[in-house]
């Protein structure tokens, strides 16, 4: 007989535009920037992670079952990233990303990958992304259904397109939209 996990009477889902340099947790070492100053709720927890040097959509919930459904790769929830890369992507490089690449911890699942214009209403990053006059940079939209550690950065590096800036724009049906860094909003959980 399966054990029943108690679901909260009032499930919450909080969407945060996590700023660059902030950890995806509420506590850290002295000097670390955490989620604590950005989220007024004390009963929600991140559903998945977003690296300290990545920006964008982070979902938080008070429902452990829902948290697992959003974060666990077995549920294959699409995650959409806007990726500024060094270089001008070739069709061959994009096809490698689409087919999956062999990383040191295994093959990635097939992804959606295409060149896109710089996102509209993009906020400046602090510190700014380094610019090299002799090397162009481009923006990619990359959609994956798993979440290996630093996966997007490792995928783009593997095909010769180092990541300069990484912004998660969507998780499943939830989108960043016009939220600025540090802004949050509540939405009803989609069961």
What is the 8-class DSSP label of residue 173?
A: T
Residues 6+ apart with CB under 8 A from 96: 158, 159
| Pairing, β 184-186 against β 13-18 | antiparallel
∠ CA 56-57-62, rounded to 5°: 145
Looking up tokens 């990619």, which residue turns up? Answer: 140
d(CA 25, CA 46): 7
d(CA 24, CA 36): 10
Residues 6+ apart with CB under 8 A from 176: 15, 17, 56, 57, 167, 168, 169, 170
- Which residue out of 32, 43, 51, 53 is catalytically annotated? 51
Catalytic-residue membership of 53: no
Q: Which residues are catalytic?
A: 51
């Amino acid at each position: 007989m399966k054990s029943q996990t108690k679901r909260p009477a009032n499930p919450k889902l909080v969407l945060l535009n996590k700023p660059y340099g902030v950890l995806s947790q509420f506590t850290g070492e002295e000097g670390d920037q955490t989620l604590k100053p950005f989220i007024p709720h004390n009963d929600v927890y991140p559903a998945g992670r977003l690296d300290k040097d990545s920006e964008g959509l982070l979902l938080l919930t008070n429902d452990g079952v829902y948290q697992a459904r959003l974060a666990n790769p077995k549920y294959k929830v699409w995650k959409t990233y806007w990726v500024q890369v060094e270089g001008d992507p070739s069709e061959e490089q994009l096809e490698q990303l689409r087919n999956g690449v062999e990383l040191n911890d295994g093959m990635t699942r097939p992804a959606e990958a295409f060149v896109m214009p710089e996102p509209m209403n993009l906020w400046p990053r602090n510190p700014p992304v380094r610019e090299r006059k002799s090397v162009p940079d481009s923006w990619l939209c990359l959609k994956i259904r798993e979440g290996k550690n630093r996966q997007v950065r490792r995928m783009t590096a593997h095909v010769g397109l180092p990541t300069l800036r990484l912004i998660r724009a969507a998780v499943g049906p939830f989108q960043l939209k016009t939220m600025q860094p540090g802004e949050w909003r509540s939405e009803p959980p989609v069961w």
